[in-house]
């Protein structure tokens, strides 16, 4: 069964948040003032177990999912993540298995992830200079260690490695061109992301967003680029190639040019709720029916019913009113 939602969108991608914890405190995601010492993260027993995650993934594959991404929070904070990667890699129909990480862990993990069956690595990095990057990660983490992680991932064949950079006005916009030059030379794909109003804790203001158009124009003025076709329906990044043939980059215009019309992504939060939009207010628990003995058929019916009812298009409707609504945090739902 391959259900379509109310806007005729199929279900292709699944993002699984494996933990709501993180060792960084990026100001746009988990600001220290909110995620401080007293912050109550989910207790371990509330998290889906690896068996439950793998079961959920199998059911989603039956509904059309072929791409699975592990995220969080910081996915590598979840102990023995490699075991989960191995379980997911074994599921027939999972053609693409990727992870999004801040790249702050010992490099040996890259090989174990690769051996477990991981296919691709996305690494978040917001600047090449330590003062800016440290200001954004807010835990004094240095750039070089993340760059080492990027290189080691490419060497391990987890490529193309994608680098996610959130651009925030007045904070790291000066890093756009240095990042473009650097990763073009290295042969990795830089993806510049408009700062989004996810969650309720980052104090988002429209004035802090550097629009995709401005990002594109700034790069184009120095390194001419031209648009490329999307790889597939629902791809979030607008793809560009350098006119001199030296590589490609992506710009994610989630705020200024929403792409809800093709959004084929479902998300599972760390405690096993299904969310059909990054900006959703509520999710549907899969964990509770799983733990009370629901059969695979019953769960598939539940998932299909949620998808068929889906009418989310938050970014297209984004307005002062919708911005006021309470939203779940990105670290919980999975970025």
330 near ligand SAM (CB under 6 A):
yes
Q: Which is nearer to ligand SF4, 55 or 313 (CB)?
A: 313
Q: Which is nearer to ligand SAM, 59 or 110 (CB)?
A: 110
Q: Which is nearer to ligand SF4, 139 or 228 (CB)?
A: 139
Among 27, 68, 98, 100, binds ligand SAM (CB under 6 A): 100
Q: Which stretch binds ligand SAM (CB under 6 A): 171-179, 194-202, 206-214, 290-298?
A: 194-202
Among 74, 82, 271, 312, binds ligand SAM (CB under 6 A): 74
Among 312, 327, 332, 333, binds ligand SF4 (CB under 6 A): 312
Residue 279 interacts with, from ligand SAM, ligand SF4, none (CB under 5-8 Å by kind):
ligand SF4
Q: Which is nearer to ligand SF4, 140 or 226 (CB)?
A: 140
Which residues neighbour 331 within 8 Å (Cβ) at sequence distance 6 or greater? 17, 20, 21, 22, 29, 30, 35, 72, 73, 199
Q: Which is nearer to ligand SAM, 59 or 209 (CB)?
A: 209
In 10 A of CB 261, how many CB atoms? 12
Among 14, 16, 29, 179, binds ligand SF4 (CB under 6 A): 29
Q: What secondary structure, in 3-state letters, does the chain show?
A: CCCCCCCCCCCCEEEEECCCCCCCCCCCCCCCCCCCCCCCCCCHHHCCCHHHHHHHHHHHHHCCCCEEEEECCCHHHCCCHHHHHHHHHCCCCCCEEEEEECCCCCCHHHHHHHHHCCCEEEEECCCCCHHHHHHHHCCCCCHHHHHHHHHHHHHCCCCCCEEEEEEECCCCHHHHHHHHHHHHHHCCEEEEEECCCCCCCCCCCHHHECCHHHHHHHHHHHCCEEECCCCCCCCCCEEEEECCCCCEEEEECCCCCCCHHHCCEEEECCCCEEECCCCCCCCEECHHHHHCCCCHHHHHHHHHHHHHHCCCCHHHHCCHHHHHCCCCCHHHHCC
Q: Which stretch binds ligand SAM (CB under 6 A): 146-154, 170-178, 190-198, 228-236?
A: 190-198
Q: Which stretch binds ligand SAM (CB under 6 A): 42-50, 54-62, 95-103, 266-274?
A: 95-103
Say if CB 79 and CB 28 are below 8 A apart: no
Residue 172 interacts with, from ligand SAM, ligand SF4, none (CB under 5-8 Å by kind):
none
Q: Which stretch binds ligand SAM (CB under 6 A): 31-39, 71-79, 150-158, 216-224?
A: 71-79
The 13-42 contact track toward ligand SAM, x by CB under 6 A, reads ---------x-----xx-------------
196 near ligand SAM (CB under 6 A):
yes
The 101-130 contact track toward ligand SAM, x by CB under 6 A, reads xx---------------------x------
Among 48, 84, 193, 278, binds ligand SAM (CB under 6 A): 193
Binding residues for ligand SF4 (CB under 6 A): 22, 24-26, 29-30, 72-74, 102, 124, 258-260, 263, 277-279, 312-315, 331
């Amino acid at each position: 069964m391959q259900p379509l939602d109310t806007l005729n969108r199929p279900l292709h991608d699944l993002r699984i948040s494996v933990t709501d914890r993180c060792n960084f405190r990026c100001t746009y995601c988990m600001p220290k003032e909110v995620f401080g010492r007293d912050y109550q993260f989910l207790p371990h027993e509330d998290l889906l177990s690896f068996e439950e995650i793998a079961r959920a993934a199998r059911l989603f594959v039956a509904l059309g999912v072929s791409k699975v991404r592990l995220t969080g929070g910081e996915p590598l904070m979840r102990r023995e993540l490699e075991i989960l990667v191995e379980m997911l890699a074994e599921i027939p129909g999972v053609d693409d298995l990727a992870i999004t990480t801040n790249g702050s862990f010992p490099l040996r993990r890259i090989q174990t992830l690769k051996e477990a069956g991981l296919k691709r690595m996305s690494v978040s990095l917001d600047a090449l200079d330590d003062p800016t990057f440290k200001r954004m990660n807010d835990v004094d983490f240095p750039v070089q260690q993340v760059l080492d992680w990027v290189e080691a991932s490419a060497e391990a064949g987890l490529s193309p490695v994608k680098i996610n950079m959130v651009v925030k006005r007045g904070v790291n916009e000066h890093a756009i061109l240095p990042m473009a030059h650097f990763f073009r030379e290295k042969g990795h794909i830089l993806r510049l992301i408009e700062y989004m109003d996810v969650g309720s804790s980052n104090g988002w203001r429209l004035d802090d967003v550097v629009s995709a158009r401005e990002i594109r124009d700034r790069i184009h003025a120095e390194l001419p680029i031209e648009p490329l076709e999307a790889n597939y329906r629902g791809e979030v990044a607008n793809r560009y190639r350098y006119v001199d043939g030296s590589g490609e980059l992506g710009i994610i215009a989630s705020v200024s040019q929403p792409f809800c019309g093709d959004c084929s992504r479902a998300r599972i939060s760390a405690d096993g709720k299904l969310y059909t939009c990054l900006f959703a207010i509520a999710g549907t628990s899969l964990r509770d029916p799983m733990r009370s003995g629901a059969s695979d058929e019953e769960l598939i019916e539940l998932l299909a019913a949620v998808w068929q009812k889906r009418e989310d298009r938050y970014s297209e409707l984004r307005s002062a009113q919708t911005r006021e609504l309470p939203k779940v945090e990105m670290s919980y739902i999975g970025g």
